[in-house]
A = this chain, B = another copy of it.
Amino acid sequence: MALVVTKFGGTSVGTTERIRAVAERLVARKLAGDDVVAVVSAMGHVTDELVDLANKVCDDPPEREMDMLLSTGEQVSIALLAMAIHALGFDAVSFTGPQVGIVTDAVHSKAKITEVRADRVKQALAEGRIVIVAGFQGITPDGQITTLGRGGSDTTAVAVAAGLGADVCEIYTDVDGVYTADPRLVPTARKIDVISYEEMLEMAASGAGVLQMRSVEFARNHGVVIHCRSSFSDQPGTIVKEADDSMEQAIISGVTHDTSEAKLTIRDVPDHPGVAATVFGRLADANVNVDMIIQNVSEDGTTDISFTTPGTDLARAKRVIAEVVEELGAREWLVDENIAKVSLVGAGMRTHPGIAARMFAALAQAGVNLDLISTSPIRISCVIASGQVEQAVAALHTAFGLDDESVLAETSPACGEGV
């Protein structure tokens, strides 16, 4: 008998038929002898409808009231799912985030979970009931309703699993696991059976959309094992957990890509202390997220600074940079929206030198020009032209033997230089 926390996203509970299917899945789990907690999102279309309503009454709705509004979406889902379980003759009880004791900070629309008081869930489980918990929402210590922002329901599921000491947190989604590359781009991409938190974080940060970084971070910090799997099949998906010896020892876990960013470059900025601090301080003040930052070596007392930012932040970033360029006396600034970031992720990089060189060689052979490069101990990212993303990902996938399941670390050729 295991204690299982399962999470179903908006697509999985998008219609009453799908809610009934989820109910059947949970009941089957209960019948198999497990204690079952389900965390659910709002029905697929509901959040958009609520946002539309808000826009009809207010151009710039206060975030506190948006949280009040949007949190009803999950409340509808949990009630319907509990009812659907009752219709199958089983006992279920639903709890909102506030009821379950998902305590958060007071940053409305992107609150962070600070505590999970799982007593009510534990008691309901002890009474033999299937417990349904609203994802995406919480309550501040002084009783304000909050929402957790993008990917919040995954984080709720992991946090509840941590609070209960669950054996596993299963995240059901519309794909059947984490892949070595996006299967839409690379038909030979294969599902990864087990991956470490660390690699999963790098993959999520560099474009793999299956799991949200926040939930993986939360899982790593609390030692929660995540099983990422499909709502539409019973096949096992991808297990995310602490690295250990039992894991498949691939040098490279996967190739990810991200076409949602834009690149800004400030040319010939005077190279004296505090310049970078000014640029990125001002961007932070304007709430602009910055991903890669590259500053080239100085020449003639000036340098170039480039960075990438999500497309959603681009308009704000441009406003800030236009001001900053003038203040700093830089020559000009440029923006390029037609970029893509291609990344290679693998814990094996630490012990297998030369991966970067092989990566650059493979890209060169495929005729892909590199614009920016940045690295972490287990990731190498290159910015390229967005039109070349498909050939770049496919070339890397092949070059690092990911097309073929038999190519594992022990059989792959070791190379020369370090990264």
**Given A53-B80, A76-B53, A86 and B58 contact (CB-CB distance below 8 Å):** yes
**Given A79-B66, A79-B69, A57 and B94 contact (CB-CB distance below 8 Å):** no
Contact with B along A1-43 (1 / 0, CB 8 A): 0000000000000001001100100000000000000000000
Question: Bound complex: CA of A54 vs CA of B54, how far in Å?
Answer: 25
Given the complex, which residues of B lie within 8 Å of A93, measured CB to CB? 64
CB-based contact B75/A61 at 8 Å: no
CB distance from A12 to the nearest CB of B (A): 14
Q: Which of A16, A83, A99 has the most CB of B within 10 A?
A: A83
Q: Which of A59, A66, A69, A78 has the most CB of B within 10 A?
A: A69
Question: Bound complex: CA of A56 vs CA of B76, how far in Å?
Answer: 13
CB-based contact B62/A83 at 8 Å: yes
Given the complex, which residues of B lie within 8 Å of A71, measured CB to CB? 75
CB-based contact A75/B72 at 8 Å: yes
Given the complex, which residues of B lie within 8 Å of A99, measured CB to CB? 143, 145
Given the complex, which residues of B lie within 8 Å of A80, measured CB to CB? 53-54, 57, 69
Q: Which of A23, A57, A72, A80 has the most CB of B within 10 A?
A: A57
Interface size range on A against B: 35 or more
Taking the complex as formed, is A322 at the interface, i.e. its CB lies under 8 A from any CB of chain B? no
Given the complex, which residues of B lie within 8 Å of A350, measured CB to CB? none
CB-based contact A58/B72 at 8 Å: no
Residues 131-163 of A contacting B (Cβ, < 8 Å): 143, 145
Taking the complex as formed, is A65 at the interface, i.e. its CB lies under 8 A from any CB of chain B? yes
CB-based contact B83/A58 at 8 Å: yes
Given the complex, which residues of B lie within 8 Å of A145, measured CB to CB? 96, 99
Given the complex, which residues of B lie within 8 Å of A98, measured CB to CB? 98
Given the complex, which residues of B lie within 8 Å of A366, measured CB to CB? none
Question: Bound complex: CA of A96 vs CA of B96, how far in Å?
Answer: 13
CB-based contact A50/B76 at 8 Å: yes
Given the complex, which residues of B lie within 8 Å of A166, measured CB to CB? none
Contact with B along A84-98 (1 / 0, CB 8 A): 101100000110101
Residue in B54, B66, B79 whose CB lies within 8 Å of A68:
B79
Given the complex, which residues of B lie within 8 Å of A16, measured CB to CB? 53, 56-57
Given the complex, which residues of B lie within 8 Å of A120, measured CB to CB? 143
Residue in B19, B57, B79 whose CB lies within 8 Å of A84:
B57
**Given A83-B58, A99-B143, A69 and B76 contact (CB-CB distance below 8 Å):** yes
Residue in B19, B65, B78 whose CB lies within 8 Å of A82:
B65
Residues 343-360 of A contacting B (Cβ, < 8 Å): none
Question: Bound complex: CA of A79 vs CA of B56, how far in Å?
Answer: 12
Given the complex, which residues of B lie within 8 Å of A94, measured CB to CB? 65, 68
User: Sorted from nearest, which 10 A-B pairs have the closest CB atoms?
Assistant: A69-B79, A58-B83, A72-B72, A16-B56, A68-B79, A58-B87, A57-B84, A61-B83, A65-B82, A65-B79
A-B contact pairs, 30 of them (CB 8 A): A16-B56, A16-B57, A50-B76, A54-B79, A54-B80, A57-B80, A57-B87, A58-B83, A58-B84, A58-B86, A58-B87, A59-B87, A60-B86, A61-B83, A61-B86, A62-B86, A65-B79, A65-B82, A65-B83, A65-B94, A66-B79, A66-B83, A68-B75, A68-B79, A68-B94, A69-B76, A69-B80, A72-B75, A72-B76, A99-B143
